C-alpha cells in the first residue's frame, strides 16, 4: 500500500468506528427515548445523530468535496449555537428514521470524496485533517450520548465487561515529583491535533508533586465523612455558593442505603461503590474542595501535560505517557470497552516515564487552568470549535475517560467545561508545590 492509500485506510477505519458507535448508542433504545430529553443539559439523542451527519456534510461533502448539499434546509436546526440544548426537543427535528437515512446518505458521499480528495496541499485536507476532525467530532458526540445514557432512567441497555484489575497498586496518596524546568507543551506536528492544541511552545515550571493515580472513591469518601460538603472553608467562594444552591452532598449518582453503605448507579445498574476506582461525576468545585481538605491543590494544565509527556532522559515531550504509539487495550481504559473507570493500579504499561499512572483514559481530570489559547493560537478551521470558549468561564480537563475514543485523545488533547458540570465522566488528581527539587 502506498502512504496515501494507507492514510485513506486509516481515515476510513476512524470514520467507520465512530459510526458503529453512534449506531450502537442509538439502536438500543426505542423511538420515544431517542426523541426525549433525558436532562436539560443534554440534547435528545436524535439531535446528536443528525448533528453528526450535518457537520460531516458541511465539512466533507460541501467544503472538501465541493458537492451539492444533501439537505440544504436543515443546517439551522443542527447548528449548536442557534439552539441551546434545552430548546432542542421542541424543534422540528428529523425523526429517528429520517436521521438514520440522512447520516447514511452523507456517509455514502463521503466515501466518494475520500477516494478522490487530495490529502496534501490545502491545510484542511492535508494529512487527512478534515476527515480526522470529523471522526473526532462524531466520537466526542458519542461520548456526550454516552453521558446522556448515564442520565436516562429505566432498565440498563448498555453492557460491557468489567475493566482490568490493578497490578501496580500505588500506595494510597503516592505521588511523583516532577523536577523544575522547561518542557514542550502542545504540538505543531501532530497532523490530527485540533486548533487549541497548537502551537508547540516551551513552558517553564517550578518543581511540583503530582498524584501517581487519580483520587479514588475511597479517598473521596473520607472527605465526605469528614464533613467535606458542610465546611465552607474548604470551598472557594463560588464553589460554596454553588454547593449551597445545588445542595450538593455527594458525587452525582451516589446513593446511601439505610445501613450507611454507599452505592452508585452506573448506566441503570445500582452497584456498591468500588473504593479503589477513580471518583467520577464530580464538578470542578468539588474537586477543588477535596484538594484543599487534603492539603493539596489541583494541577495546572501545564503540570498535567508535563507529568504526562515529558521524558527526563531525552528532554522531549511524547505523544502519550508511554511513547508515540497509538493506545491499545493494555495502555489505557479508552473507547467504551468498559462502562466505568478501572481501579487505580491498572494499566502499568500506560505509565509515564516518571511513573505517573492512568493519565490517559478512566476519567477526565479537572485542572486548575482556565481554557485559554496558547501563544500563537489561530482558529482552524472554525472559530466555534475553540475560540468562542476562551476567556475564563471554562476549566480545562485532560486525559480522556473510559468513554473517549483514542482518535479524540492524546497527551496534548484539551477538553473544557463549566466548573459546575458533573454529568461528564470527570474526576481529578491532586498536586502540590515542592521546594528545592
Interface residues with ligand AVJ (CB under 6 A)? 137, 140-141, 144, 385, 415-416
User: 266 has which bridge partners?
Assistant: 269
Residue 198 CB, nearest distance to ligand AVJ (Å)?
15
Residue 115 CB coordination number (10 Å)? 9
**Do 131 and 15 meet the contact criterion of CB atoms below 8 Å apart?**
yes
Give dist(CA 420, CA 245) in Å, integer: 11
- Shorter beta-carbon distance to ligand AVJ: residue 123 or 383: 383
Residue found by looking up cell 476527515 in the block = 131
Strand, coil or helix: what is 122? coil
**Do 68 and 105 meet the contact criterion of CB atoms below 8 Å apart?**
no
- Shorter beta-carbon distance to ligand AVJ: residue 42 or 430: 42
Residue 249 CB, nearest distance to ligand AVJ (Å)?
27
Residue 398 annotated as lining a ligand binding site? no
Q: How far is CA 186 from CA 175, 379, 393, in A?
A: 24, 15, 21
Residue 88 annotated as lining a ligand binding site? yes
Give the torsion sign (CA, 92, 97, 102, 107): positive
Residue found by looking up cell 461520548 in the block = 143
Q: If we measure between CA atoms, which residue out of 27, 279, 282, 51 comes closest to residue 149?
A: 27
Cα atoms in the 13 Å half-sphere on the side-chain side of 336: 25
- Shorter beta-carbon distance to ligand AVJ: residue 322 or 366: 366
Residue 123 annotated as lining a ligand binding site? no
- Shorter beta-carbon distance to ligand AVJ: residue 62 or 264: 62
Q: How far is CA 359 from CA 86, 96, 212, in A?
A: 33, 37, 9
Give dist(CA 330, CA 332) in Å, integer: 6
- Shorter beta-carbon distance to ligand AVJ: residue 38 or 264: 38
Residue found by looking up cell 502499568 in the block = 348
Task: Give the nearest residue (CB) to ligand AVJ.
Answer: 140
Give dist(CA 425, CA 408) in Å, integer: 15
Residue 86 annotated as lining a ligand binding site? yes
Residue 133 CB, nearest distance to ligand AVJ (Å)?
10
Residue 165 CB, nearest distance to ligand AVJ (Å)?
30
Residue 242 annotated as lining a ligand binding site? no
Residue 381 CB, nearest distance to ligand AVJ (Å)?
12
Nearest 5°: the CA angle 128, 132, 138 is 155
Strand, coil or helix: what is 344? coil
Residue 386 CB, nearest distance to ligand AVJ (Å)?
8
- Shorter beta-carbon distance to ligand AVJ: residue 148 or 352: 148
Residue 55 CB, nearest distance to ligand AVJ (Å)?
7
- Shorter beta-carbon distance to ligand AVJ: residue 229 or 385: 385
Give 435's DSSP letter. S
Residue 413 CB, nearest distance to ligand AVJ (Å)?
9
Which phi and psi angles does 392 have, rounded to 5°? Answer: 115, -5
Neighbour-count burial of 136, counting CB atoms closer than 10 A to its CB (0-12 exposed, 13-18 middle, 19+ buried)? buried
Residue 95 annotated as lining a ligand binding site? no
Residue 318 annotated as lining a ligand binding site? no
- Shorter beta-carbon distance to ligand AVJ: residue 166 or 186: 186
Q: If we measure between CA atoms, which residue out of 274, 309, 273 comes closest to residue 398?
A: 309
Detail the residues annotated as belonging to a binding site for gamma-L-glutamyl-L-cysteine: 85-88, 417, 421
Query: Known binding site for Fe cation: residues?
Result: 51, 137, 141
Binding region: 51, 85-88, 137, 141, 417, 421
Amino acid at each position: 500500500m502506498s502512504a496515501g492509500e494507507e492514510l485513506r485506510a486509516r481515515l476510513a477505519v476512524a470514520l467507520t468506528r465512530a459510526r458503529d458507535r453512534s449506531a450502537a448508542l442509538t439502536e438500543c433504545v426505542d423511538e420515544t427515548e431517542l426523541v426525549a430529553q433525558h436532562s436539560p443539559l443534554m440534547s435528545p439523542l436524535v439531535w446528536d445523530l443528525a448533528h453528526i451527519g450535518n457537520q460531516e456534510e458541511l465539512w466533507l461533502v460541501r467544503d472538501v468535496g465541493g458537492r451539492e448539499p444533501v439537505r440544504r434546509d436543515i443546517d439551522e436546526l443542527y447548528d449548536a449555537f442557534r439552539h441551546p440544548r434545552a430548546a432542542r426537543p421542541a424543534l422540528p427535528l428529523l425523526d429517528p428514521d429520517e436521521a438514520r437515512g440522512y447520516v447514511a446518505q452523507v456517509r455514502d458521499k463521503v466515501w466518494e470524496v475520500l477516494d478522490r480528495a487530495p490529502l496534501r496541499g490545502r491545510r484542511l485536507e492535508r494529512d487527512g485533517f478534515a476527515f480526522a476532525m470529523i471522526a473526532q467530532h462524531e466520537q466526542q458526540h458519542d461520548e456526550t450520548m454516552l453521558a446522556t445514557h448515564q442520565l436516562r432512567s429505566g432498565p440498563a441497555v448498555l453492557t460491557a465487561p468489567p475493566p482490568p484489575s490493578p497490578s501496580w497498586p500505588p500506595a494510597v496518596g503516592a505521588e511523583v515529583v516532577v523536577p523544575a524546568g522547561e518542557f514542550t507543551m502542545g504540538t505543531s506536528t501532530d497532523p490530527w491535533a485540533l486548533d487549541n492544541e497548537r502551537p508547540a511552545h516551551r513552558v517553564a515550571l517550578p518543581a511540583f508533586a503530582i498524584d501517581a493515580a487519580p483520587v479514588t472513591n475511597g479517598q473521596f469518601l473520607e472527605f465526605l465523612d469528614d464533613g467535606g460538603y458542610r465546611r465552607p472553608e474548604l470551598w472557594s467562594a463560588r464553589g460554596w455558593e454553588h454547593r449551597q444552591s445545588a445542595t450538593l452532598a455527594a458525587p452525582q449518582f451516589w446513593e446511601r442505603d439505610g445501613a450507611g453503605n454507599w452505592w452508585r448507579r452506573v448506566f441503570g445498574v445500582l452497584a456498591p461503590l468500588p473504593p479503589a476506582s477513580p471518583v467520577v461525576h464530580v464538578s470542578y468545585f468539588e474537586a477543588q474542595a477535596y484538594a484543599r481538605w487534603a492539603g493539596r491543590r489541583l494541577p495546572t494544565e501545564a503540570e498535567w501535560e508535563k507529568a504526562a509527556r515529558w521524558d527526563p532522559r531525552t528532554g522531549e515531550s511524547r505523544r502519550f505517557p508511554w511513547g508515540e504509539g497509538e493506545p491499545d487495550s493494555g495502555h489505557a481504559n479508552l473507547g467504551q470497552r468498559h462502562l466505568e473507570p478501572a481501579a487505580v493500579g491498572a494499566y502499568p504499561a500506560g505509565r509515564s516515564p516518571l511513573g505517573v499512572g492512568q493519565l490517559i483514559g478512566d476519567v477526565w481530570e479537572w485542572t486548575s487552568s482556565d481554557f485559554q489559547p496558547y501563544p500563537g493560537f489561530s482558529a482552524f478551521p472554525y472559530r466555534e470549535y475553540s475560540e468562542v470558549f476562551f476567556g475564563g468561564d471554562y476549566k480545562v480537563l485532560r486525559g480522556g475517560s473510559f468513554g473517549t475514543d483514542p482518535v479524540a485523545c492524546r497527551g496534548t488533547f484539551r477538553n473544557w467545561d463549566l466548573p459546575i458540570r458533573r454529568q461528564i465522566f470527570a474526576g481529578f488528581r491532586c498536586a502540590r508545590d515542592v521546594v528545592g527539587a
